[in-house]
Every structure is written in structure tokens, then in C-alpha cells.
Amino acid sequence: MTGELREAILKGSRRAAARLMRLIDDDAPQARATLTALMPYAGDAYILGVTGNPGSGKSTLVSRLIARFRERGDTVGCIAIDPTSPFSGGAILGDRVRMQEHAEDDGVFIRSVATRGSLGGLSRSTPAMVQVLDAMGFDTVIVETVGVGQDEVEIIRLADTSLVTLVPGLGDDIQADKAGLMEIADVFVLNKSDLPGSQHLKRRIQTMLSLHQNTDAARSAAPAIVATSATSGDGIDELFAEVEIHRRSVEEDQSRQTRLQKRHTHLIRAIARSELEARFDEHVRSDRFSQLVDDLAAGQIDPYKAASQLLSWLAE
């Protein structure tokens, strides 16, 4: 099946690509060989990450950006992530609702993905799915994270450019100085800028950035701040221009090899972590783990020794 799927995907079969993505998501053994066989064809796509709070307008922005990329003649793949229920394992994947104007465009491929218990804002399968879209020849791949809080910043390991979407009315000034999400933006998008508080939000971000710059030597340019209203389309031209500026700077500053190294590092990490977590969960469900728990209660072992014991099983 590996060769068949690979050939179909390289010929542009949406059906085959969609099937491979599902096999990847399910961590089916068949996915591995096919993905490996596709990797030589990947590496040319530009990866744009879009993250931000739930309800901050990420999907609407993504839809607007897809339209801009298409106007320029780029083909666009999109991975849109929504949360999995920790109780039922089910999910409602609703990002497409805002993107359906592109549903029948042959130059666009949109895939909704559930987190399936992964933290960090992406699913475990996301980096591999990006490889598939890249190998299919999509010029740009947009990854929309699950709605995030403060600390889910895995997107920067994957994307060439990361947009952080903020909206007015969430928290006081100290929120802007906290670590995590506020540090990862290449471009800040202040969406819903028609709402009260938008100017204040912009000043807060500017103040935060003015304090940052001296200490963050790695960042050569301060991130741009763009006010948008994704539903009306206000500010989208400016946002797209800023995305392009960042894209060009990445392409000038980093060789293809450097960018591939970053992606491949993230891909290997994601695969390894996924396996590690699966094995970890299996051992935690085992009888000998229950025995450790009993031993701790009986005072026969300390929690650190018990944890070491658990970790030692992972290497078996």
C-alpha cells in the first residue's frame, strides 16, 4: 500500500493524502513508510503559524490570509487544530466553518485535526501532516493552533513565521509582561480592533516590546503589531504585507538547510514524544505500577524511587 499511496499523493490525490493524514493521526504502522517515502519531496513550503486565545478570530484571519495567498497565485494547505474532549475522546472540529469559502478551490487543502490529548497547542501528528502537504507541493502551509492560554508555544518549533492573535479585554497590564505566548510572536495581530480597548492593548504590547528588545539578542527586529478586524477585512492588507516582510527576512537570514533542520528536529521530537507517552501510559496502567503505589502507601518506597523505577521500565 505504501507505494500506491505515495504515488497517488504525488499525483495530487486529495483522497490519498487525506487517508495518509488519518493513518498518521492514528499512528498506524502503514503511515510510517509512506511518510518516509514522501519526505524527499518536502521542504519547499513556507510554514505560517497562527496562534492565540480561543475566540480571538484565528480561523477567520486564516481564511482571509488564504484568500490573499491565492490572489498572489500561491497554493495553500491548512491544518486547523481543535481540542479533544478528555472525557469522551471526541471532538468538535469547527475551524472550517470560517474557511468554507475556499472549500471548492483546487489550490486549497484544509484539514481539521483534534489534539488527542497533546499539549502545546498542536497535535502530535501536526508536523508529519505538514510534511504531507509540503510534499504535495503546496506553496504555503498554514497551521492554526488550538485556542491557547499562556504557555502553549510549540508552534514556533514548526513555523517559519508565527502570528499571535490577541483581542481587547483580557486581563490587566501585567498579562502582557508574562512569559510564554507573549514572547513568541513574529507579528502580533490585534484582532477585533473595532472593540473598545484596542488602542490600550496596542500600547501595552508596544511597552512590553520596548522592554524586551535589549535583552533579546536573538531577535533582530521587533515584531510588528497590526490591528485587524478579520470579519470586516480591515487591516488584512497590512497584516499580509507584514507576513511577507517576515517571510522574506527568514528566507534571507536562514538557508533552506537551516529551516529544514528546524522542521526535522521538531518532527523527530514529536514522533519520539508520542511513543514515549504511549509507553509511559502503558506502564502506568500495569500491575507492577499499582504495586509501586501500594508500596508507597505502605511506606516501603519513596516517591522519587518509585518514579525512577517507572522510568527504568521505559528503557526495557
Partner 1 sequence: MNSSTPAPTTYRILIGKPGLDGHDRGAKVIARALRDAGFEVIYSGLHQTPGALVRTAIEEDVDGIGLSILSGAHNTLMPKVVELLQEEGADDIFVFGGGVIPEDDITKLEEAGVRAIFTPGTNTSEVIDFVKRACDDKYGRGQD
Task: Answer yes or no whether residue 157 interacts with partner 1 by CB under 8 A.
Answer: no
Q: Which stretch binds partner 1 (CB under 8 A): 7-15, 39-47, 66-74, 165-173?
A: 7-15
Count of residues of this chain found to bind partner 1 when the rule CB under 8 A is applied: 39
Residue labelled with grid coordinates 470586516: 232
Distance CA 119, CA 21 (A): 19
Q: What one-character DSSP code corresponds to residue 122? A: S
Q: Bridge partners of 51?
A: 164
Q: Is 22 or 279 the residue whose CB approaches partner 1 more closely? A: 22
Strand, coil or helix: what is 165?
strand
CB of 99 to partner 1, least distance (A): 9
Q: Which of residues 268-287 bind partner 1 (CB under 8 A)?
A: none
Minimal distance in Å, beta carbon 41 to partner 1?
19
Please report, for residues 42, 151, 294, the alpha-carbon distance to residue 119 in angstroms, rounded to integers and kept in the order given: 26, 10, 30
Q: Which helix (H) or strand (E) holds 253?
A: helix 236-253
Least CB distance from residue 85 to partner 1, whole Å?
A: 6
- We find the least distance from the C-beta atom of residue 223 to partner 1, in angstroms, to be 32
Site for partner 1 in 90-109 (CB under 8 A): 90-94, 96-98, 100, 103-104, 109
What span, in angstroms and rounded, lies between the C-alpha atoms of 264 and 50? 20
What is the rounded CA–CA span in Å between residue 78 and residue 7?
A: 22
Helix (H, G, I), strand (E, B) or coil at 189: strand
Closer CB to partner 1, 79 or 301, in the complex: 79
> Which residues contact partner 1 (rule: CB under 8 A)?
1, 4-5, 8, 14-16, 18-19, 21-23, 25-28, 30, 84-85, 87-94, 96-98, 100, 103-104, 109-112, 114, 116
